[in-house]
């Protein structure tokens, strides 16, 4: 795939701000997975503030759509640029700042290109949101309202179309409806009424559902497909697959003017791979990584990181098993102690006293306290005295 021109000055300024923020917010994913999720979301948004990943996302999504390739042929990606902030209201910025882009697309029967606004939602949903279609409609409506804000709308004016994309990387397939029409209760509508069934009640969003690409061959010439491949690495890291992805990233974004984009993508890659438990910290050191790739040691390094993590898991698993065995042995010892005390009480004071004792000591997990109950059995002269002392236990 041939990408558009290199990173612009405006891109670089925005990227520098994001990468600085990310570099100071790299959590220990093994200690704080919820913090890792927050940083990975920020990292993915930083990636999609860059021109090349947005172009690749649009190309990928449209190539998956029926008639999408016809749109691609008419798009001029050299005109792709962030939507000016004054066209995005405060409500939208609060949740999805700097994720609206636009580019020019040539109308089928017109020589002059017209604007198509592209709305990219890069929240990277990890769970299914069943109101997503309604939320997307709200984003699109606010974009349109801002586009016509404080201007006189003419009869011939038209709203720009919007391509809305949701990137989902959850464990199970996405099950939410894709348009507000599909969310609408339609039982009261007659299917034979074509005007009703075609009622345009809402916008539709396009979905990138990572779960649907498992087992499918994915291109290494598209940033988004490489991101999907990274998401699909799974819980048990395949060093060869990870190495292949990193090599492809270097080929795609190897030019000098794309360096910052590559750093952001690799920062996101490190956070994503860290979910497997393997921390490829070399991804944050560009010079060291380049040296390792030139010397052919990169694959060996990834394999060593994966083996070290597996050894750590085995050691932790062994320690956990030993702790569980000790806890089970202690619990069994306490159970035997309770049973023995109840047998003694039954022989000395009868069934009623034994049943009362069993009820009162079933939650006592202190062996010394149980031995004190044994002393009561020995010291008390009759069932009444024993029962009085048991009431003091609880």
| pLDDT at residue 188, rounded to an integer | 57
Per residue in 88-117, pLDDT tens?
Answer: 444 444 444 447 788 888 766 665 666 666
Helix (H, G, I), strand (E, B) or coil at 382: coil
- Length of the chain (residues): 394
CA distance to 223, 233, 314, per residue, from 278 (Å): 22, 12, 14
- Do 169 and 267 have their domain in common? yes
pLDDT band at 285 (very low <50, low <70, confident <90, very high): confident
d(CA 146, CA 155): 18
Q: What is the mean pLDDT of the chain?
A: 77
How high is the pLDDT of residue 92? 46
Distance CA 276, CA 36 (A): 12
CB atoms within 10 A of CB 60: 22
- CA separation for the pair 126, 211 (Å, rounded): 11
Same domain flag for 112 and 186: yes
Question: Is 387 in the same domain as 283?
Answer: no
Tell me, yes or no, whether 71 and 128 share the same domain: yes
Note the helical H segments in the chain.
9-23, 33-47, 51-64, 68-74, 90-96, 132-147, 180-183, 194-197, 223-231, 239-252, 259-273, 286-295, 298-349, 351-361, 367-379, 383-393
Examine residue 256 and state whether it is found in any structural domain, yes or no: yes
Alpha-carbon separation of residue 250 from 220, 222, 224, 262, 331 (angstroms): 11, 12, 14, 7, 56
Where is pLDDT greater, at 78 or 32? Answer: 78
Number of domains in the chain: 2
State the angle between helix axes of 383-393 and 351-361 in degrees (0 to 180), rounded to the nearest 10. 10
Same domain? 148 vs 206: yes
In a domain, 3, yes or no: no
Are both 259 and 364 inside the same structural domain? Answer: no
Q: Does the residue 85 lie in any domain?
A: yes
Question: Which domain covers residue 214, as residue numbers?
Answer: 9-296
> Per-residue pLDDT averaged across 307-329, rounded?
79
pLDDT digits (tens, 9 = 90+) for 275-284: 777 888 878 7
Domain annotation covers residue 44: yes
Query: By the 8 A CB rule, do 59 and 8 touch?
Result: no
Q: How many CB atoms lie within 10 A of CB 291?
A: 13
Residue 325 lies in a domain: no
Structure-block tokens of residue 294: 């030139």
- Tell me the percentage of the chain whose pLDDT exceeds 90: 11
Structure tokens at 93: 């910025």
Query: Do 22 and 138 have their domain in common?
Result: yes
Residue 41 falls within a domain, yes or no? yes
Say what the pLDDT of residue 316 is. Answer: 76
For the cut 60, the answer to whether the pLDDT of residue 363 exceeds it is: yes
pTM: 0.64
Same-domain check for residues 244 and 184: yes
Quick one: pLDDT at residue 295?
86
Domain end residue (candidates: 241, 268, 296): 296
**pLDDT, position 12:** 47
Are the C-beta atoms of residues 166 and 125 closer than 8 Å to each other? yes
C-alpha pair distances (Å), 93 with each of 37, 85, 87, 97, 307: 21, 9, 10, 4, 43
Distance CA 302, CA 5 (A): 32
User: Where a domain ends, among 238, 272, 296?
Assistant: 296
Alpha-carbon distances of 37 from 25, 125, 225, 275, 330, rounded to whole Å: 12, 11, 21, 9, 38
Kindly state whether residues 367 and 238 are assigned to the same domain: no
pLDDT tens digits for range 205-235: 889 999 999 889 999 999 999 999 999 987 6
pLDDT for 179:
86
Is the predicted pLDDT of residue 54 greater than 50, yes or no? yes
Query: Which class for 371: exposed (0-12), middle (13-18), buried (19 or more C-beta within 10 A)?
Result: exposed
Q: Are residues 148 and 261 in the same domain?
A: yes
Determine the Cα–Cα distance for residues 69 and 63; give it in Å rounded to an integer: 6
Label residue 37 by pLDDT band (50, 70, 90). Answer: low
Residue 315 lies in a domain: no
Confidence at 203, pLDDT banded by 50, 70, 90: low
CB 358 within 8 A of CB 324: no
Quick check: 124 and 44 in contact, CB under 8 A? yes
> Which three-class secondary structure state does DSSP give residue 89?
coil
CB 115 within 8 Å of CB 102: yes
Q: pLDDT tens digits, residue range 60-76?
A: 999 888 878 888 888 88
Q: Clarify whether residues 61 and 130 are in a common domain.
A: yes
Q: Is the pLDDT of residue 366 over 50?
A: yes
Residues 194 and 74 in one domain: yes
Q: Are strands 113-125 and 100-106 parallel, antiparallel or unpaired?
A: antiparallel
320 lies in some domain: no
**Residue 44's pLDDT is what?**
80
């Amino acid at each position: 795939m041939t990408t558009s021109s290199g990173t612009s000055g405006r891109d670089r300024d925005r990227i520098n701000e994001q990468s600085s923020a990310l570099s100071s917010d790299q959590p220990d994913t093994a200690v704080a997975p919820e913090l890792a999720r927050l940083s990975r979301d920020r990292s993915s948004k930083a990636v999609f503030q860059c021109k090349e990943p947005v172009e690749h996302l649009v190309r990928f999504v449209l190539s998956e759509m029926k008639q999408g390739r016809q749109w691609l042929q008419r798009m001029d990606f050299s005109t792709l640029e962030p939507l000016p902030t004054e066209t995005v209201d405060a409500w939208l910025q609060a949740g999805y700042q700097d994720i609206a882009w636009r580019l020019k697309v040539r109308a089928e029967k017109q020589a002059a290109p017209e604007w198509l606004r592209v709305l990219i939602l890069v929240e990277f949903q990890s769970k299914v949101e069943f109101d997503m279609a309604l939320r997307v409609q709200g984003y699109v409506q606010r974009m349109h309202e801002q586009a016509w804000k404080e201007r006189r709308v003419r009869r011939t004016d038209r709203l720009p179309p919007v391509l809305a994309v949701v990137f989902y990387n959850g464990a199970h397939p996405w099950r939410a409806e894709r348009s507000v029409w599909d969310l609408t209760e339609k039982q009261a509508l007659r299917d034979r009424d074509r005007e009703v069934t075609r009622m345009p009640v809402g916008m539709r969003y396009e979905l990138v559902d990572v779960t649907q690409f498992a087992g499918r061959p994915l291109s290494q010439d598209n940033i988004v497909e490489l991101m999907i491949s990274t998401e699909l690495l799974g819980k048990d890291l395949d060093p060869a697959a990870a190495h292949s992805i990193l090599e492809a990233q270097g080929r795609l974004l190897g030019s000098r003017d794309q360096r910052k984009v590559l750093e952001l993508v690799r920062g996101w890659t490190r956070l994503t791979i860290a979910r497997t438990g393997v921390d490829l910290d070399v991804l944050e050191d560009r010079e060291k990584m380049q040296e390792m790739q030139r010397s052919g040691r990169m694959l060996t390094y990834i394999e060593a990181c994966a083996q070290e993590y597996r050894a750590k898991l085995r050691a932790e698993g062994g320690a956990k098993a030993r702790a569980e065995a000790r806890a089970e042995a202690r619990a069994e010892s306490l159970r035997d102690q309770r049973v023995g005390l109840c047998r003694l009480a039954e022989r000395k004071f009868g069934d009623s006293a034994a049943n009362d004792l069993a009820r009162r000591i079933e939650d006592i997990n202190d062996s010394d306290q149980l031995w004190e109950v044994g002393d009561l059995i020995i010291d008390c002269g009759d069932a009444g005295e024993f029962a009085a002392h048991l009431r003091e236990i609880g």
